[in-house]
Amino acid sequence: MFGLYLHIPYCAAKCRYCDFYSAACRGGVPDAYVDALCREMDRFSPCGSTPLRPDTLYFGGGTPSLLTPAQTARLIDAAGPVPGAEITLEANPETVSPQTLAAYRQAGVNRISFGVQSASDVQLARLGRRHTAAQSRLALQWAREAGFENVSGDVMLALPGYTLDEMNATLELLAEGGCTHISSYLLKIEPNTVFGRKPPENLPDDDAAADFYLAAVERLAQLGYAQYEISNFARPGFEGRHNRNYWECGDYLGLGPTAHSCMGGRRFYTPAGTAAFCRTPADYTDDGTCTAEDFVMLQLRLTSGLSLARLRREWGVEWDAKKRAFAARLCQNGLARLEGDVFSLTPRGMLVQNSILVELL
Ligand code: SF4
């Protein structure tokens, strides 16, 4: 598996909680930025300007739906994905129309991921989102009408003044809107954001946030979405292939400022700086090699878990008696499972994954 990630570092305005690398921009994505992405694809091309032929192509951001369909088509053509590749575009509900969605589909995008976040307009305004719940509903409907059979929706949990009613209304909005995949995240207050400088009132504490997460896992299962990763849930056959490749330690190339890559076990990234990226060939920064610790960490994000046989075979790492005793204690406490040689975390275990990893690594 080879995944290609194209970062689109532009947004109409910055949301109050967001620390992704993106800047507010007027108008759409400059053609100079699309030129720069094509230039970098050429640089990684195995031979001249032969396409990279990824198995998955992911437009992330930022707000990739600020790309015009023509810009999107140009980037897809330049990448030359293999037949049957998964091609995902992240979109904000207020940026799309029936026409643009049909044109993205025509350009080759076959999976669209909407940042819906909440069904409460008061909450959306508080977060600095520029859409309403009604716009999210319409965008989901238009996506289906445009022929998207694979539609994902993002939801944020444990928001200020959060209630189970808000959570359930949001999950139902996504399910009724035909989402085949749902990503759910707990709000995290990041330092370099508006919320970081002035946290909102009525934030749920850690225990309440954990309860919302567990309630979401349960409600999503009732709605027919099986959990396959800490934050990701899908109807059968609709797991995200691009992100799954990250967690399976596959090769991926990320292009654009702050995008990270791992190719043949070597990791590297592009430093921040959109203007510099447009002007001159990117200067990739070495980020070390992928280690057995990374493998354990990534595999334990997945409900399919960590195969201890694979850990031994591919990384030469054998769990000693101390680690096995720790794993057994986690199983007794309902935080993990050990089935054959596969060790996996339960949703409760996933909530304390970091502490578990400290012991295991
Ligand atoms: S639209 Fe997305 S990337 Fe842009 S500021 Fe909001 S959360 Fe961040």
Q: What is the distance in A from the centroid of ligand 1 to the CA of 63?
A: 7
Residue 219, pLDDT score: 98
Question: Does the C-beta of 14 come closer than 6 Å to ligand 1?
Answer: yes
The proportion of the chain whose per-residue pLDDT surpasses 70, expressed as a percent, equals 100
Residue 294, pLDDT score: 95
CA trace torsion 4, 10, 12, 14 (10° rounding) = 100
Average per-residue pLDDT in the chain?
A: 96
Residue 25, pLDDT score: 87
Evaluate whether 324 touches 291 at the Cβ level (below 8 Å).
Answer: no
66-120 tens-digit pLDDT: 999 999 999 999 999 999 999 999 999 999 999 999 999 999 999 999 999 999 9
- Residue of the CA atom closest to atom 2 of ligand 1: 62
The proportion of the chain whose per-residue pLDDT surpasses 90, expressed as a percent, equals 97
Question: Does the C-beta of 115 come closer than 6 Å to ligand 1?
Answer: yes
List Cβ neighbours of 230 (8 Å cut-off, separation of 6 or more): 301, 350, 353
pLDDT at 132 over 90: yes
Question: Does the C-beta of 11 come closer than 6 Å to ligand 1?
Answer: yes
Domains and CATH numbers, the chain: 2-245 (3.20.20.70), 291-361 (1.10.10.920)
Q: Which atom of ligand 1 is nearest to the CA of 92?
A: 1
Q: Which of 16, 17, 18 has most ligand 1 atoms within 8 Å of its beta carbon, as the pocket-test mutant?
A: 18
Residue 50, pLDDT score: 86
List Cβ neighbours of 178 (8 Å cut-off, separation of 6 or more): 140, 141, 143, 144, 151
Q: What is the distance in A from the centroid of ligand 1 to the CA of 359?
A: 35
Cα–Cα distance for residue pair 61/95, rounded to 1 Å: 14
